[in-house]
Structure 1
Amino acid sequence: MAGRFPMTIRRPVVHALILDMDNTLYDWVAYFVPAVQAMVTVAAKILGVSEQELRGDLQVVHRRHGNTEHPFALLETTTAERCLPGMSRRVRHEHLLPAFTAFNEVRRDRLHLYPGVAATLAAVRAAGCRVVGHTEAKDVNINSRARSLGLDTTLEAIYAPRFVGLPHPLSTDGERKQDTIRARVLPPTARKPNPEIARQISDQLGVPPYRCLYVGDNLSKDVTMAKRAGMLAAWARYGTHHDPHLWRDLVALSHWDPSAVNAVENADAESPQYAPDVVLDAFDELCEHYTFASPAGAVQLEPDCLRAGSVEG
């Protein structure tokens, strides 16, 4: 009888790793909600109002802008305008500076990469694989997080929509503070799960979609977009596990409609139209499922190009 040999399983070869950011590389909920809570506690004391009233006002601002982390939303609340009448944006910012400081202190203490992210990304980069980020968070927000986490030196580029709104309160002559950390600007209409976004990212990298791996925590957005674009897709299931109390408070602050909240809360129970190729319970499991390698003839993204480039959705 012929001898039997163990079957060798060949792992898919990946030339470009495209990463969702929030709740894929770090726990956004675990830092953002406590940071906002700290800011509200301090601001409510300064303004002489209840925290509940101020949180409700923040949600109104978030819904108006369609952005739960709208920069300096506190300055645009009706409470701040009523309690600090006739003040310029700069003066109002100075008055509420202790509240913004409280937010930044909590962010510094709580914003960390998930275990295994730094080492895994270093190994993927060492193999010559391209590594970029892609997010629906505005460029000013994601650039700040990338810098504080050291991702600005790990990611070749970050694809993100440009923030459109009032300038930084400390800017002069109406100019917005610019942050050019390897950002490639997406138009506001470039929303997940539009597969054209993923395809054009692969085109700009010079890597065919079937050699690209997209990793994200959202089945209906990240995974669906990647699969429709012809990419490999890994679901970061670990990024869907949140403290229920923090999640409840986030929903109360957010601009999300009820259907979006329900989709996120029932992600584990979904039977998605496009199933992920791999389900991850830790980021470093990537190396168990894929072989990362350097692509031949890939396009190098120069810094000037990164700042000026855009992807049409």
Structure 2
Amino acid sequence: MTIQAVLFDLDNTLLNRNAAFRAYAAQLIRTYASYADDEQAERYTNWLIAEDRQGYTPKKQLYAEMMRTVPMRDPLTSVETLLETWFATFSAYSVTMEGAGETLHRLKASGFQLGLITNGSSRSQQAKIDQTGFRHLFDAIIVSDEVAVKKPDPAIFAIALDQLGVSPRHAAYVGDHPANDVDGAIRAGLHAVWLRGLTSGEPLSVGRYRTIDHLSELVDELGACY
């Protein structure tokens, strides 16, 4: 089967979102929390990372819980303060996944169309895309907040493929999340490549996807299997 387009997830696929949030959470605690010593600051940081659930906890909910759990240095600090800090600064903590740039350039040079499908708010996701420096490589960028549908709904994959002018059977999707990325892509009729390592669990679509442990493996995997 000829693959004409390769589409990617963003967080924990092209960007190491786990590493970025750890650095951001540590700075957030240092800036806003009242703590006795470095050990307590580390406990608050680890608590915040756990509560974030790799980005799946809505930010307003996360910071409301932070206000209830972590003592604030300034009594005027609010949920809105923490939300604005998130939108204004988190993208600066972005960490590109090892091999991401090289892989995208190799695919582009080989004639593949490239797409990006990511769940999240337009403001935060678009800022992170800009931070990567990869925007110019993509022929289609879909952010769930902008199209009112999110992975694993097949509709969001269909929107991207329509922009690319490619049928699902001629497209592959690469992502870390077993349900949202792998199972979602397969339900939408795409070939799926699971990037293991940063997200727990396994896809339900047993035997219907390819697996890589590093983005540098992707080009050879596509060439060998599709």
- Distance change (3 Å), C-alpha of 1:271 and 1:119: closer
Equivalent position to 1:24, from 13, 16, 21: 13
> 1-side partners of 2:25 and 2:91: how far apart?
9
Identical-pair percentage:
23
Q: Which TM-score applies when normalising by structure 1?
A: 0.56
Residue equivalent to 1:150: 133
- Distance change (3 Å), C-alpha of 1:69 and 1:196: same
The alpha-carbon deviation at position 122 of structure 1 amounts to: 0.9
Gaps of 5+ in 1: 1-11, 163-184, 241-263, 292-313
**1:147-166 deviations in whole A, cap 9, x for unaligned?**
1110222223321133xxxx
Residue equivalent to 1:112: 95
Residue equivalent to 1:195: 154
Is contact 2:140–2:164 with CA below 8 Å preserved after alignment?
no
Is contact 1:215–1:236 with CA below 8 Å preserved after alignment?
yes
Residue equivalent to 1:33: 22
- Distance change (3 Å), C-alpha of 1:77 and 1:198: same
Residue equivalent to 1:279: 211
1:14 equivalenced with 2:3 (yes/no): yes
> 1-side partners of 2:156 and 2:150: how far apart?
8
Residue equivalent to 2:120: 137
Equivalent position to 1:84, from 76, 81, 91: 76
Gaps of 5+ in 2: none
1:125 equivalenced with 2:117 (yes/no): no
Is contact 2:178–2:203 with CA below 8 Å preserved after alignment?
no
**1:43-85 deviations in whole A, cap 9, x for unaligned?**
1249xxx86789989999x79xx744459958x94666x9118
Equivalent position to 1:213, from 167, 172, 177: 172
> 1-side partners of 2:204 and 2:45: how far apart?
38
Structure ranking higher in helix proportion:
2
SS of residue matched to 2:27: helix
1:186 maps to amino acid = V
> 2-side partners of 1:221 and 1:16: how far apart?
19
- RMSD of Structure 2 on Structure 1 (CA): 3.8
SS of residue matched to 2:22: helix
The alpha-carbon deviation at position 14 of structure 1 amounts to: 1.5
- Distance change (3 Å), C-alpha of 1:271 and 1:147: closer
- Distance change (3 Å), C-alpha of 1:30 and 1:271: closer
Equivalent position to 2:186, from 217, 227, 235: 227
Q: Which TM-score applies when normalising by structure 2?
A: 0.75
Is contact 2:25–2:49 with CA below 8 Å preserved after alignment?
no
Is contact 1:58–1:77 with CA below 8 Å preserved after alignment?
no
Is contact 2:195–2:211 with CA below 8 Å preserved after alignment?
yes
> 2-side partners of 1:113 and 1:58: how far apart?
19
Residue equivalent to 1:296: none
2:7 maps to amino acid = I
The alpha-carbon deviation at position 272 of structure 1 amounts to: 1.8
> 1-side partners of 2:106 and 2:120: how far apart?
26
- Distance change (3 Å), C-alpha of 1:285 and 1:37: same
> 1-side partners of 2:140 and 2:3: how far apart?
17
The alpha-carbon deviation at position 193 of structure 1 amounts to: 1.8
- Distance change (3 Å), C-alpha of 1:204 and 1:132: same
Give the structure, 1 or 2, with the largest relative contact order (CA under 8 Å, sep 6 or more).
Answer: 1
Tell me the number of residue pairs that the alignment of Structure 1 and Structure 2 aligns.
211
SS of residue matched to 2:139: coil
SS of residue matched to 1:239: coil
